[in-house]
Structure 1
Amino acid sequence: MPHRRPLIGLSTYLETSARWGVWDLPAALLPAGYPRLVRAAGGFAAMLPPDAPEVAAELVARLDGLVIAGGPDVEPARYGAEPDPRCGPPARERDAWELALIDAALVSGTPLLGICRGMQLLNVALGGTLVQHLDGHAGAVGVFGEHPVRAVPGTRYAAIAPDPTGVPTYHHQCVGRLGHGLVASAHAADGTVEAVELPGDGWVLGVQWHPEAGQDERVMAALVLAAS
């Protein structure tokens, strides 16, 4: 029997205006690097635009793995904070949907990868907080920067990438207080938490950088393997 490729769900942006051809319309969209990376890692990619949070468990039950993608800042009210003036506008519909997806994946044991905002939202889902602004973790506007991250020995991430690795990065927020059960599994040179994970039999990992914008497939390949 041929190998069954796992189905990996990818959460999407929800934009009030996007342009293609002659059209300028509201759109659920995702940078092409995400599905490309899933395919390269051996999975099938399925986009998951925001929906009613109450259907999240039913949807996740049909997936083999889940990716919460990057995007706008998490609304500070979600972690009990007042917004910093440098915090971006809220994306409440997306926050509610992706938090429901995360909860469903954690309950069901579905392998889960959070990327940038996705890692931050995973931390918030488990009761953690965010630092609402820091400098030096992005390039110019709309341009990915790069810096090395170092794995914490003995973690799941260290098994994936044991040596210091340069990663594509574009963010101005980061994990503050870790959520319940999460451990930091990689750091930047300035001490910023760059990866988090839940120890145990399940597969739950968050990375602060953007693997879909680089050439390193190891993180996504590890998710696809766990979902197989």
Structure 2
Amino acid sequence: MASRGSERRAGRPPVIGITTYLEHSTFGIWETEAVVLHREYVESVRSAGGNAVLLPPIGDWRAETVDWLDGLVLSGGADIDPARYGQAPHPTTGTPQPLRDAAEFALAEAALAVGMPLLAVCRGMQVLNVVLGGTLHQHTPERTGTNDHQPEVAMFGKTEVTLAPGSGLESILGKRVQVACHHHQSLDRLGTGIAVTATAGDGVVEGVEVPAARFAVGVQSHPEQNADDIRLFTALVDAARRWRAER
């Protein structure tokens, strides 16, 4: 017979952790270093039926310290330190953020270790690939000859993406979808156990999955930017709900 505590847990929305930025910020009367995140991530999780909690890029993140979460979103943001995948920095690569790199690599490893449903967005997809031993192209325009994936500062480019037949992403998004992109880096050598399941017309990897995982999906685009299409977040929340019920 189920306890009242387990009944309450079964009825509550899944708790979805979202990684955050550590940035010099101004708000109210204060100018200080702050933990921040684009509101769209929180709204997307909420609209999909989850409870969003913000995870600072500081802390002891291990499998034993994340068992209160039901799912994880690795958010977009700054370039990963190329030293993490054995390369010297390209002239266009941003200043390393060691605290955030350390926190998100630990969170990704913990999620994969315990089978927690994971949605990796933009930088997050790159984190997932590097965690599993992959590498990145540090400046994609050198490969594609265009800035289509990052047209201007603080502007999202529109990219047509083709989904691999039979993939998890195709089951969520269909055969083709237009997405909002803002990235100058992209996946190069794939990490162990990662499958490419979405590509742009220029060959840039726009989506990956870890087939052996319960739900580990990465997209190079920014699905949180389209409030009318929360299918990826709904898929994450549904997977989190199932995972919680089975634990």
Q: CA deviation at 1:140?
A: 1.7
Match of 1:85 in 2: 91
Asked if the contact 1:7–1:44 (Cα under 8 Å) also holds between the matched residues in 2, the reply is yes
Is residue 68 of structure 1 aligned with residue 80 of structure 2?
no
Give the structure-1-normalised TM-score. Answer: 0.96
| Cα distance change, pair 24–65 in 1 and its aligned pair in 2 (3 A) | same
The one-letter code sitting in structure 1 at the alignment partner of 2:240 is A
Q: CA deviation at 1:127?
A: 0.0
Q: Any stretches of 5+ residues in structure 2 without a counterpart?
A: 1-6, 142-147, 242-247
Per-residue Cα deviation, 1:12-38 (whole angstroms, up to 9, x for no partner):
0011x1011221110000000000000
Give the structure-2-normalised TM-score. Answer: 0.89
Q: Distance in 2 between matches of 1:66 and 1:43?
A: 11
Q: Distance in 2 between matches of 1:6 and 1:217?
A: 16
1:217 corresponds to which of 220, 230, 240? 230
Q: Distance in 1 between matches of 2:223 and 2:113?
A: 26
Q: CA deviation at 1:201?
A: 5.0
Greater C-alpha Rg: 2
Is residue 145 of structure 1 aligned with residue 157 of structure 2?
yes
Q: Any stretches of 5+ residues in structure 1 without a counterpart?
A: none
Once the two structures are aligned, what percentage of the paired residues are identical? 48
Match of 1:192 in 2: 204
In the alignment of these two chains, the number of paired residues is 226
Q: Distance in 2 between matches of 1:12 and 1:59?
A: 17
Q: CA deviation at 1:59?
A: 3.1
Is residue 50 of structure 1 aligned with residue 50 of structure 2?
no
The one-letter code sitting in structure 1 at the alignment partner of 2:111 is A
Match of 1:159 in 2: 171
| 1:67 alignment partner, SS class | strand
Mean Cα displacement is larger for which, 170-179 or 21-30? 21-30
1:98 corresponds to which of 97, 104, 113? 104
Mean Cα displacement is larger for which, 69-78 or 197-206? 197-206
Is residue 38 of structure 1 aligned with residue 35 of structure 2?
no
Asked if the contact 1:132–1:172 (Cα under 8 Å) also holds between the matched residues in 2, the reply is yes
1:20 corresponds to which of 18, 27, 31? 27
Q: Distance in 1 between matches of 2:195 and 2:16?
A: 24
| 2:43 alignment partner, SS class | helix
Asked if the contact 1:129–1:175 (Cα under 8 Å) also holds between the matched residues in 2, the reply is yes
